[in-house]
Every structure is written in C-alpha cells, then in structure tokens.
C-alpha cells in the first residue's frame, strides 16, 4: 500500500486518460494540460475510463503507481474538465476503495488572542 507523506501535494485529473501511457507520458500530460509537473514534487492521480483503475505519478526518480480493484471500482469525482486537490488521507482512502469524499482535513484550532 502506498503511504504518501502528509506534506505531499496531490492533484486528481478529473477526466479519464489513456491508460496505455507510461510514467513519462502521464507526467507530460499533467504538465501540459493540467499545469502541474510531477517533477516539481507533486503527485498527480489519473483514472481510466473504467472506474476500477488508477495511476499515480510522482517525482522520486519519476515513479508510477498503478492499481486495479477486482469486482469493484474507485470512488471518483464527477467527470468534468480540470483538476482537483486531495490530501494524503483522502488518497489513502481512495486507494483502499473507500469513499474518500466523506473525509475532511482536521480543523486546526486557532490560538486564543491574549487580552
């Protein structure tokens, strides 16, 4: 299982892509069409037309993570043009086949002002 660091910036391409592309092709696609370059320290999550497949590209010498769920599919955002952001906990839930849209980042309490 992939465990991303909490500090990793993660983007999700909301439209399906051609899954014949490898790591270099997906990295170029992310940079050219989404404006996010995996070689600059971000992870980009791609989905196939079939909702049961995911590919993630991230820079660590350019790594591609590929996963397929048997008998079920990943929970994806609506198919629209563009990109969205998710946090590391949401990515872990997505890869586990869970509904990651119900997860929210914890609120950080604001310090009380001194009188």
pLDDT at 1: 60
Does pLDDT of 105 surpass 60? Answer: no
Q: Are 100 and 94 in contact (CB under 8 A)?
A: yes
Q: Could you count the other beta carbons within 10 Å of the beta carbon of residue 60? A: 8
pTM: 0.81
Task: Return the sign of the alpha-carbon dihedral for residues 85, 90, 95, 97.
Answer: negative
pLDDT at 6: 80
What is the average pLDDT value for the chain, to the nearest integer? 84
- Write the pLDDT tens digit of every residue in 19-67: 999 999 999 999 988 888 888 888 999 999 988 999 999 988 889 999 9
Nearest to 1 by CA among 77, 100, 94: 94
Does pLDDT of 107 surpass 60? Answer: no
């Amino acid at each position: 299982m992939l465990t991303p660091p909490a500090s990793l910036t993660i983007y999700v391409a909301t439209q399906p892509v051609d899954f014949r592309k490898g790591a270099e092709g997906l990295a170029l696609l992310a940079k050219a069409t989404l404006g996010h370059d995996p070689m600059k320290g971000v992870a980009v999550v791609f989905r196939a037309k079939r909702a049961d497949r995911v590919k993630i590209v991230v820079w660590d010498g350019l790594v591609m993570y590929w996963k397929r769920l048997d008998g079920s599919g990943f929970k994806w955002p609506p198919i629209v043009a563009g990109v969205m952001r998710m946090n590391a906990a949401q990515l872990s839930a997505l890869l586990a086949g869970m509904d990651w849209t119900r997860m929210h980042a914890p609120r950080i309490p604001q310090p009380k002002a001194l009188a």
